[in-house]
Amino acid sequence: DSNKNTNKFTLSVCPPVSLHAKPDSKQFFSNCGQVSLRCVDDKQTADGWTVKRTTGGVTEDCGLAAGFDLDDSQCNLNLCSPSDGAYFCESSSGQRSDEVNITVSEKGVILEIPALPVITGSDVTLRCRQSNGDTVAAYFFFSGRLLGSRYKEHTISNVQQSNEGLYWCATDLAGPSPKSFLKIRDPITAFTSSVAPPHLETMRSSSSLPSSSHPTSSSSPLPQPPPSSLSVFRLLFHLLVFCPYFITTGLLLSIYLDRISATRSGNRVVLSMEMTHQGGQNEDVAVHVTTEHDFSE
């Protein structure tokens, strides 16, 4: 059954490591309060990441500066000390998270605005707070444009990328708060696939092949050489075996043919016999006999 053999896989695009601030805001009063900072990956503390900040052109590690104290897995920011700066997380390999610009203010009001990026489609509520912690009716501004007046809070519904930018609040008595940037991020996406992984398909294809009648070993058989290589090997083998035989036979045949050719060329063998006869009765008589044998046909 194809449904039983098909596995579903879900791939989630996780957000990168980010800096979390508690309370979740970018603006604080210089009232000797404390802000906790930590590096978070998928809602868990990210191992191997360090909270750092850049202030006045100098980058400092948490635990190595006054009022910037390391406490186990989190960093405590003491608001009694000068603390304005860009805060971020950095890994041992040099990777960085998005920066969070924290402002410590002595003004009469601050804007309560999320420190982390806001997911598109969600709602964001902005508040204007006094130093005693109370919210106050205020004017809310976005990139120089008035959003609403005399409200204790302003809610942005179904935020989109067009809502990204600088925000601040102001009251008639305290004046404007510092400005902070609201960052918008697309939602995390998840992909679900019903296609089996390639290695599973390969295993199924292999199991569907007809089984061999011969027993198989646990190890894979050695691959056979290509047909062309096998043919060349066999040819060389035959040449090495039969070449000495052919050479010897050729030499013998060549000697035999040379002898036949010499016989047919009409060579003659001359035999000489010399007899000596002297004068008188007892004189020897010399007789010269020459016999020629013609071996030609």
Q: What's the mean pLDDT in 16-41? A: 92
Tell me what pLDDT residue 31 has.
Answer: 86
pLDDT category of residue 53 using cuts at 50, 70 and 90: very high
The token duo for 258 is 């040379």
* 286 vs 65, higher pLDDT: 65
Separation between Cα atoms, residue 118 and residue 187, nearest integer Å: 9
Rounded distance between C-alpha atoms, residue 31 and residue 15, angstroms: 33
Averaged pLDDT for residues 108-117: 94
- Nearest-angstrom CA–CA distance, 262 and 104: 124
**pTM strictly above 0.75:** no
Please state, for a pLDDT cut of 70, what percent of the chain lies above it.
64
CA distances to 18, 34, 200, 210, 215 from 206, rounded to whole Å, are 46, 64, 10, 9, 17
Three-class DSSP category at 205: helix
Q: What CA–CA distances, in Å, run from 113 to 53, 107, 158, 182? A: 20, 16, 16, 7
Query: How does pLDDT run across 148-196, given as a tens digit for each residue?
Result: 888 899 999 999 999 999 999 999 999 999 999 999 999 866 555 555 5
Kindly report the backbone phi and psi dihedral angles of residue 228, in degrees, each rounded to the nearest multiple of 5, phi listed first: -65, -40
What is the overall mean pLDDT for the chain? Answer: 77
Question: ω into residue 23 within 30 of 0, thus cis?
Answer: yes
> At residue 204, does pLDDT exceed 80?
no
Which candidate, 139, 177, 182, places its Cα nearest to that of 28? Answer: 177
Arch. (CATH architecture) of 9-185: Sandwich (2.60)
Confidence band (pLDDT; 50, 70, 90) for 16?
Answer: confident
179, 26 in Cβ contact below 8 A? no
**Per-residue pLDDT reduced to its tens digit, 228-257:** 555 666 766 666 666 677 777 777 877 877
> Half-sphere exposure of residue 220, counting CA atoms within 13 Å on the CB side?
4
**Per-residue pLDDT averaged across 28-55, rounded?**
91
Which residues is 274 bridged to in the sheet?
Answer: 288
Q: Give the pLDDT score at 104.
A: 94
